Amino acid sequence: MRSLDDYEVTHEGKITRVVMAGESGESLAFLDGNQEPETIEGGLTHEESIEYILHNSIKDAPIHVVGNRVVHGRDISGSCVITQDIEEVIEEAGTMAPLHNPYALKVIREIKTAMPDTMQVATFDTSPYVDISLENALCAIPYSYFQRHGIRKYGFHGTSHRYVANRAAQYFGQPLEKLRIVTCHMGNGTSITVWRGGKAVDTSMSFTPTAGTIMGSRCGDIDPGIILYLIEALKMPPEHVKNILNKESGLLGISGISNDVQELQEAIAHGNDNNGRGELALDLFAKSVRKYIVQYVYQELDGDVDSIVFTAGIGENAEDLRERRIVQRLPSDLKQRLEHPCRTVSETTEVCPKPCFLVVHTDEELMIAQDAFVTSNLR
């Protein structure tokens, strides 16, 4: 397989503030590395965004294969060529990823309309976790719900975790199969994955992306009885409870200020952290991350870890939170084993064999491009 460094970006297009069909707004188009976006009055839908990028960035450049990020692929264990059967799986999995899969399918079908003869490949965020052991995958409810309804741990952020695990392996100059690594994708959504023998063996998110660590606005792991209490005793409709757990909890819910770490840090610095709740929110978030790191290092790796890798918005940029609240508060023997503070891996970083904490910039688009390249050549 070609190295991650063997790929070059020749065209680039990104549309933000995408609108739903029938709505209006202002979409922003970032094309070919331009920092200043073009404002598109009225807004662009997902389908219109694809057409806009094709005509304004890629233009006449030949396209041999299109890679698509799909959040949920149920039991599909790797990237694959998109067929009608795969489209049906993506659609069915939309009930478990309603904010992601339906829109991914819209994009896939729009590309099929615009370029009917071009192969498309799907990269699934869930695929690295399909083969984790039942001991790690099963939820402790009646087994029949796993058999009949597929209720199990699926895991998410797999594309990002794969990229940074492979980048870390390049840094150590060894194949991933020989390393024992914990990867921490820390953004508004946060998840922790442990790698052994070149494979993900466990991850913090579960049946949905709500589980695991505390996140920007998601609650993470909580007592399921709280949900029943909100519905039965407080008479909240299930939809309201879902909104609370996904959009009003986490850093936002605890602090009462923001779901954004930088905004919380600024509020704390200016004495506006809501009677200490901003500080409390960051401490609870960091503790929940440390909890999974420690669990994975000692339960899955027997303490024999080569690196703990941080990535995504918080992992890469929130240095004080990462170093002071997470790394410095890990067990002393773990800090003695891994060199710290974190080393930042870049394209020019030389190979280093020493076990250490790392910061790696994630690049899911590059991982998807590599998957599309490899999968299309295997066809």
**93-140 per-position pLDDT tens digit:** 888 888 788 889 988 998 888 888 889 999 999 999 999 999 999 999
Question: Is residue 375 in a domain?
Answer: no
**In the prediction, which pLDDT does 203 show?**
98
pLDDT digits (tens, 9 = 90+) for 316-358: 999 999 999 999 999 999 999 998 888 888 765 677 778 999 9
Residues 188, 309 within the same domain: yes
Is pLDDT larger for residue 193 or for residue 376? 193
Residues 279, 348 within the same domain: yes
Tokens (6 digits) for 298: 């000692």
- 3 state DSSP class of 203: strand
Question: Is residue 127 in a domain?
Answer: no
**Residue finishing a domain among 107, 122, 137:** 122
Total structural domains within the chain: 2
Residues 117, 167 within the same domain: no
116 upstream amide cis, omega within 30 of 0: no
Nearest Cα neighbor of 114 from 176, 63, 151, 44 is 63
Average of pLDDT values for 2-7? 60
Average of pLDDT values for 174-189? 95
**Residue finishing a domain among 122, 144, 172:** 122
Question: Is residue 36 in a domain?
Answer: yes
Question: Is residue 248 in a domain?
Answer: yes
Question: Is residue 376 in a domain?
Answer: no
**In the prediction, which pLDDT does 346 show?**
77
Task: List C-alpha distances in Å: 236 to 230, 241, 244, 252.
Answer: 6, 7, 10, 20
Give the whole-angstrom CA distance, residue 307 versus residue 339: 9
Residues 28, 89 within the same domain: yes
Residues 75, 200 within the same domain: no
Residues 96, 190 within the same domain: no
Nearest Cα neighbor of 90 from 111, 73, 114 is 73
Residues 307, 245 within the same domain: yes
pLDDT digits (tens, 9 = 90+) for 238-286: 999 999 999 999 999 999 999 999 999 999 999 988 999 999 999 999 9
pLDDT digits (tens, 9 = 90+) for 347-364: 656 777 789 999 999 999
Question: Is residue 283 in a domain?
Answer: yes
**In the prediction, which pLDDT does 304 show?**
94
Q: Mean pLDDT of all residues in the chain? A: 90
Residues 118, 164 within the same domain: no
| CATH number where 35 lies | 3.30.420.40
Question: Would you name the residues annotated as active-site residues?
Answer: 125
Residues 200, 115 within the same domain: no
Instruction: Give the bridge partners for 68, in sequence order.
Output: 122
Question: Is residue 66 in a domain?
Answer: yes
Is pLDDT larger for residue 11 or for residue 334? 334
Tokens (6 digits) for 302: 């027997």
**In the prediction, which pLDDT does 175 show?**
94
pLDDT digits (tens, 9 = 90+) for 22-62: 788 888 888 876 678 888 888 888 778 888 887 777 767 77
CB 203 within 8 A of CB 155: yes
CB 128 within 8 A of CB 161: yes
**Residue finishing a domain among 122, 145, 171:** 122
φ/ψ of 344, rounded to 5, equals: -95, 125
Residues 117, 37 within the same domain: yes
**In the prediction, which pLDDT does 114 show?**
84
**In the prediction, which pLDDT does 312 show?**
95
**In the prediction, which pLDDT does 349 show?**
66
- Residues of the chain with pLDDT > 70, as a percent, come to 95
pLDDT bin (cut points 50, 70, 90) of residue 6 is: low
pLDDT digits (tens, 9 = 90+) for 56-82: 777 677 788 999 999 999 999 889 999
Nearest Cα neighbor of 165 from 297, 293, 306 is 306
Residues 15, 86 within the same domain: yes
Q: Tell me the residue range of the domain where 222 lies.
A: 158-365
Residues 247, 331 within the same domain: yes
Give the whole-angstrom CA distance, residue 71 versus residue 125: 5
Model confidence at 379: pLDDT above 60: no
**In the prediction, which pLDDT does 285 show?**
97
**In the prediction, which pLDDT does 2 show?**
54
Question: Is residue 371 in a domain?
Answer: no
